[in-house]
Chains A and B, each alone.
Chain A
């Protein structure tokens, strides 16, 4: 990556030394490089290029600030040196300021238009920042410098393709093909891939006819048979040549009879309407017969069959699966459960099996086991029923427990059954027992990574982070920097870091929680960065269709639910820190909520916590001293200066920190109502009323009756009426016009709130929303609200989560303990196993 030397004003000895510096840099021999550079500088202290190289090396050693300062000195000395500009760009690039880096590269290129290295570096940044027009230009320049490399042609085509210029992309590919003297051999993968890539481009232009012709002519011997056939089937279907399309789909199904897309393709090729159940049944029946061990052809009909037909098919399917004791049977079936009639039919069937009414019909299975066969069938049926009653759409935990206990009794060594039991306990609201049960399951098979992972997760749900990491460590590289947790970060084990953070959040350890969520965010950044490797790698190795797909995928990276989950939690923590700044220091008070203490008590507690902390830190420091931290190469490891996230907590601008998450959340997960709602909380505190209004409009569009949005609208209204200084008239005009459609200014708020209750009086979360708003409108209603919230516990549909939220509301209102006690008693009565209400009653 280093710029070629341009050793003006140097003697021959220095010139060779300079070459040495560049080589040392490329080979990462930084100390040698620095030494050589200093040697040059002794003779010619004002040699800009050498100073620039020195800056580059210093930057690689991790001292960015000094490097930048030095690079500036170099530039001042030789403004006309492309080396200095290139280095300047490289420094910006490593500081991730791509915009400035691009500018510096461009300056370097103006001075040295022939430099391939600078041109390449520039191109890389342009594609990374999605400056497609710029990228097309750069790729064209690179191509002109070396026309004989196919990858340069392909790269230009990709640039044009991504820039939306399909016609020229195709022309570029064709132009190169025309220069080939003969047809490349079959083994030329690069050529094969380029042909299919061209075909995709032609199809994207909408010229399906031509795409089909091209495919038939050019891709006959293409080694990627599957892609050729899939493209062909697709083109034929698009062109309405259904008979031929059907033929290809049948060929594809012969290769892979479990792929649903092929079945769907075949359905449309045969012109079977979704409503033509009879024809569908025949089609899938044929395939089921052809392929007696297959799943798709049996499972898909359950989606469209109804009534007696459904019952018959489900009966066959379930018998077949349960007969073999396939553990994933329920997971494969539960997608049908939103349809209550199907749910009922399935329940009736499986309850029948479990009771042993009808003897199972052997379903042509060859591997019939002599005696245990019938038993296995019955036990599998019980396992299925346990999962059925554990599922949220058909939950009856007592029944679930009964069935799983029976199953475990029959097969005491089954990991699956114990795992199901742990899940049931979790749904009872007892994370401790659930974790113990999962642990029991884990001990049944210590070599199984899946159950190991599951057990760790359940420990985290039980807020036992120590036990969790202990278990994870059985499958991590523990000599990695930072131990098992460090390895989990290196391996980007997103689920664990998320669950760990959420666990700390539940415990009120905000620093550690925030630390984890910030880690998630940086993992996503790394994924974005990882593209850099592929911009050049994919061209060299040739998987360009996958590369284009990857580039498009990266554009939507932050839509991933793992990102929004961590981002929402992080933003919520920042909001909390803004509201209660003392949490930044007092969160170590054993997870206790600082709200309940008066200031003297708090000070005392904080002091105590500080002392304890100091003690801990001292102990840890001693530990560290003993193990001089060296990594594998014998170099000192980079220490994490903030292992507990305390520095993160002490930010002076929590709301601006939150914006780092909110901006991405709202851009990529706008359809997630929680994202909008946490966005509101940040904007309203920043007094960005228009942006807060924007989230309200979005939430309202997503769910007009959402109880949190209901409450937020009232708070918006209230904040507006209590403004310390008036908003600009234009902003006010916008609010008047747009907020009016949500909550007209003339509305009688109390009445509006009452109506909200009327419409949703059977839902606990809506009643809670109503009570929150009533408290806001009329603080004197507190007494009544504290009593009324207990009633939500008796509502039919109210869930354990609702009840826990209600408890939080009482905390928020600082309710007297007798209300809380009443609430706990009532909640305990309804959810006797739930630990959230248990300990406090005893």
Chain B
């Protein structure tokens, strides 16, 4: 039946057209090359493209200032208002909770948490370590 393939022939090899990068290193090199190519060529190409695209420079100027205005206006969309307010309330409530540093250390030790996460968890449970840990061990899957 079929003969074994000579070692130089690979599956899917295409005599014409470039070979796909064969090793991870080649791939990296290819990626690096393409990024090099673009660094130089990109700007020119883009500049040409933008001319072709009939971009109205004046309109662009206006557009960007409009964008800045909406940024300054607080960029709150009408639909998001209630959600964001609720979150804010929640955050303020949490900020007020006092947390015992000993409890933070306990959570860090017992639950493999970072200090920040442990504090957050305690604040979410009115600073009650037992409550916080109970919630943590049961909140699975």
Q: Do A and B come from one complex?
A: yes
Interface residues of A (CB under 8 A from B): 26-28, 140, 143-144, 147-151, 165-168, 171-172, 175-176, 178-182, 184, 188, 205, 443-447, 449, 474-475, 477-478, 480-481, 487, 490-492, 526, 533, 536-537, 540, 631, 659, 663, 670-671, 688-691, 693-695, 697-698, 701-702, 728, 730-731, 733-734, 737-738
Residues of B within 8 A of A188 (CB): 53
Q: B21: shortest Cβ distance to chain A, in Å?
A: 10
B63 and A730 form a contact (CB under 8 A): no
CA distance A657 to B61 in the complex (A): 55
Task: Give the chain A neighbours of B55 by CB distance below 8 A.
Answer: 148, 179-181
List, in ascending order, chain A residues with CB within 8 A of B136's CB: 690, 694
- Which 4 A-B pairs give the minimum distances between C-beta atoms? A167-B77, A698-B140, A179-B59, A181-B54
Q: A26-B36, A690-B110 are in contact. Are A147 and B141 (CB under 8 A)?
A: no
Beyond A26-B39, A175-B67, A730-B130, 5 additional pairs, beta carbon < 8 A: A148-B57, A688-B111, A690-B137, A730-B133, A737-B130
Report the separation of the CA atoms of residues A92 and B136 in the bound assembly, to the nearest whole angstrom: 34
Chain A proximity mask over B1-44: 1 for CB below 8 Å, otherwise 0: 11111010011000000000011110000011011101100100
> Which B residues are CB-close (under 8 A) to A443?
1
B100 → A minimal CB distance (Å):
11
- Asked if A731 contacts B106 (CB within 8 A), the reply is yes
In the complex, what's the smallest C-beta–C-beta distance from B11 to chain A, in angstroms? 5
* B63 close to A179 (CB less than 8 A): yes
- Bound state CA distance, A737 and B131, in angstroms? 10
- The residue on B at minimum CB distance from A692 is B137
Contact of B63 among A26, A147, A475 (CB under 8 A): A147
Identify the B interface with A (CB < 8 A): 1-5, 7, 10-11, 22-25, 31-32, 34-36, 38-39, 42, 46, 50, 53-57, 59-64, 66-68, 70-71, 75, 77-80, 103, 106, 110-112, 129-130, 133-134, 136-138, 140-141
Given contacts A734-B130, A738-B138, is CB(A445)–CB(B75) below 8 Å?
A: no
- In the assembled complex, the CB of A75 is this many whole angstroms from the nearest CB of chain B, namely 26
| Closest beta carbon of chain A to B32's beta carbon, Å | 8
Given contacts A446-B4, A734-B130, contact A701 B54 (CB under 8 A): no
Instruction: Kindly state the separation between the CA atoms of A731 and B110 in the bound complex, as whole angstroms.
Output: 8
**Contact A728 to B111, CB < 8 A, known contacts A445-B2, A477-B23, A697-B138:** no
Quote the shortest CB–CB distance from A211 to chain B (angstroms): 15
Q: Which of A184, A536, A671 contacts B53 (CB 8 A)?
A: A184
- Report the Cα distance A690→B108, complex, angstroms: 12
Nearest-neighbour CB distance to chain B for A405, whole angstroms, equals 22
Contact B70 A150, beta carbon cutoff 8 Å: no
* Inter-subunit contact B106/A730 (CB<8 Å): yes
A150 and B60 CA atoms in complex are apart in Å by: 11
| A171→B38 contact, CB < 8 A | no
Identify whether the interface residues of B are mostly helix, strand, loop, or mixed. helix
The distance from the CB of B2 to the nearest CB of chain A, in whole angstroms, is: 5
- Cross-chain contact of B106 among A446, A475, A728 (Cβ < 8 A): A728
When chains A and B are docked, how far (Å) is the Cα of A731 from the Cα of B136?
12
Whole-angstrom distance from the CB of A396 to the nearest CB of chain B?
A: 33
Cα(A659)–Cα(B53), bound, Å: 54
CB distance from A598 to the nearest CB of B (A): 39
Point out the residues of chain A lying under 8 angstroms from B62, CB to CB: 179
Minimum CB–CB distance from B41 to chain A (whole Å) comes to 11
User: A590 to B93, alpha carbons, bound, how many Å?
Assistant: 63
CB distance from A90 to the nearest CB of B (A): 14
Whether B133 pairs with A179 at a CB distance below 8 angstroms is: no
Known contacts A445-B2, A691-B111; is-contact A168 B133 (Cβ 8 Å): no
Cβ distance A482 to chain B, nearest Cβ, rounded Å: 10
- Give the residues in chain A near B5, CB-CB below 8 Å: 446-447, 474-475
Instruction: Assess whether A147 is in contact with B137, with CB atoms less than 8 Å apart.
Output: no
CB-CB under 8 A from A738, the residues of chain B are 134, 137-138
Q: Do A733 and B137 touch across chains, with their CB atoms under 8 A apart?
A: no
| Given A148-B57, A445-B1, A730-B130; A480-B63 close (CB under 8 Å) | no
Flag if B1 contacts A733 (CB, 8 Å). no
Report yes or no: A167 in contact with B79, Cβ–Cβ below 8 A: yes
Of B10, B39, B63, B111, which contacts A176 at CB under 8 A? B63
Q: Known contacts A446-B1, A734-B134: does B140 contact A487 (CB below 8 Å)?
A: no
Nearest Cβ on chain B to A347's Cβ, whole angstroms: 35
Contact in complex: A480, B53 (CB < 8 Å): no
State the CA gap A695–B138 with chains docked (Å): 9
With A180-B54, A670-B141, A730-B130 as contacts: A540 and B42 at CB distance below 8 Å: yes
Q: Determine the chain B residues whose CB is within 8 A of the CB of A695 once the complex forms.
A: 140
Name the B residues within 8 Å of A179 (CB-CB).
55-56, 59-60, 62-63
Distance of B6 from chain A, by nearest CB (Å): 10
Q: Assess the B4–A474 pair: CB atoms within 8 A.
A: yes
Q: Cα distance A188–B50 when bound, in Å? A: 12
From known contacts A149-B46, A691-B111, infer whether A447 and B2 are also in contact, taking CB-CB under 8 Å.
yes
Q: List 12 A-B contacts (CB under 8 A).
A: A140-B67, A148-B60, A165-B77, A168-B75, A175-B63, A179-B60, A480-B22, A492-B24, A537-B34, A730-B130, A733-B130, A738-B134
**B130 contacts A143, CB within 8 Å?**
no
Is A701's CB under 8 angstroms from B112's CB?
no
Residues of A within 8 A of B53 (CB): 150, 180, 184, 188
Report how far A763 CA is from B34 CA in the complex, Å: 60
Q: Enumerate chain B residues within 8 angstroms of A447, measured Cβ to Cβ.
A: 2, 5
Partner of A697, one of B10, B60, B130, B137: B137
- CB of A691 within 8 A of CB of B110, answer yes
Residues on the B chain within 8 Å of A671, using CB: 141
Smallest Cβ-Cβ distance to A164: which chain B residue: B80
Q: How far is the CA of A164 from the CA of B54 in the complex (A)?
A: 32
Chain B residues near A181 (CB, 8 Å)? 54-56, 59
Q: How far is the CA of A317 from the CA of B59 in the complex (A)?
A: 63
Please judge, given known A-B contacts A147-B60, A179-B56, A446-B3, whether A477 and B10 are in contact too, CB under 8 Å. Answer: yes
Contacts of B2 in A (CB 8 A): 445-447
In the complex, A533 Cα to B38 Cα: how many Å? Answer: 13
B1 touches A701 (CB 8 A): no
Determine the distance from Cα of A730 to Cα of B106 in the docked complex, in whole angstroms: 9
Complex CA–CA separation, A828 to B88 (angstroms)? 68
Residues of A within 8 A of B130 (CB): 730, 733-734, 737
Q: Return the contact of A693 from the options B7, B25, B129, B137 (Cβ within 8 A).
A: B137
| Cα distance A728–B111 in the bound complex, in angstroms | 13
Chain A residues lying within 8 Å of B1, measured Cβ to Cβ, are 443-446
Which chain B residue lies CB-closest to A732?
B130
Which residue of the partner chain A has the closest CB to B128?
Answer: A730
Kindly state the separation between the CA atoms of A693 and B138 in the bound complex, as whole angstroms. Answer: 9
User: How far, in whole Å, are A178 and B59 apart by their CA atoms in the complex?
Assistant: 8
Assess A701 versus B140: contact at CB under 8 Å? Given A148-B55, A167-B80, A179-B55: yes
| Partner of B64 from A28, A143, A151, A478 at Cβ < 8 Å | A143
Among B3, B75, B141, max chain A CB count under 10 A is at B141
> Please, which residues of chain B bring their CB within 8 A of the CB of A28?
32
